[in-house]
Structure 1
Amino acid sequence: EDEMLIRNGGAGIPMGSDGKPWPLLPPIAPKHVGKKCLVLDLDETLVHINIMPIPDPDFVVPVQIEHQWHNMYVQKRPGVDEFLRQMGELYEVVVYTASLGSYADPVMDHLDIYNAVSHRL
C-alpha cells in the first residue's frame, strides 16, 4: 500500500521526475549534527485557533479563504514560548500542519519568537 501511495504521488509527498519521493527536509545543518529531530504539530498542540472572536487572543491572523478574508484568533498554549526556546536548544525542531501556508506561516511568525523552529512543513 505504501509503495502504491508513493507511485501515485503520495499524500502531499513531493515527487521527482524519476518518480522517487523527495526528502521533506534539507540535509542536516552543521549546528544540528548529533541532535535528534523533534517534530511538533501546530494546531491544538502549540496553539488553539478560533474563527469566532474570543476574549484576549494572543494574536489575530487575517487569512484569505476562497476569496474572503477571515480573522483567526490565536491562543498560545500555556508555556509554549519557553517550551519552544528550550526545545530549540536541545533539538532540531520541525513544526508541521495540514493547514494552508497562508495561515500557518503568519501564525509561526508570531509564535516562534526565539527562532527555535528550524523547519516548517
Structure 2
Amino acid sequence: MLLLPLRWLCARIGPFLVLLAGLWMFVQSSAVIAFGLITSPASFLVLRGVQGAGAAALTAVALTLLPRAFPSPDRREAALLGWSGVLLVGLAAGLMLGEKAFWMNLPLGVLSGATTLRLLRTRLAA
C-alpha cells in the first residue's frame, strides 16, 4: 500500500533521503522493541506498523535505485534476484530468531545508515 507513494516521494525528494527516513523508522522501532520499552500490546502493534512503513521505504528505494544502477537487462535481473534472495534470508532469519531479530536490526541499521550518509556526502560533494 505504501510502495507507490514512497516511489513517488523518491522521485520528488531523492532516494537517499527516503532511504535514511526508512532506516530511521525501522531501526528506532526495532530499538524500542528490543529494549523492552513497550507498554502494551497496542504499542507493540503500532511499532510494528512503523517498522513496516520503514521497510516499505527501503523497498521503494531499492526498486528505484536498482534499475538505475544496473541498466543492462541481464545485470538488472541478477541484481533483483540477489536483492530478493537477501530479503528471503532476512525473513527466514527473523522467523527463526524471534525477538532476537530486533537486536540484529540495530547494528545492521546503523551500518546501513552510516554507509548511506557517506555515499550521500560523496555524491553531494561531486
Range of TM-score over shorter length: under 0.3
Structure number with higher strand proportion = 1
Structure number with higher helix proportion = 2
TM-score when scaled to structure 1? 0.26
Max radius of gyration: which structure?
1
TM-score when scaled to structure 2? 0.25
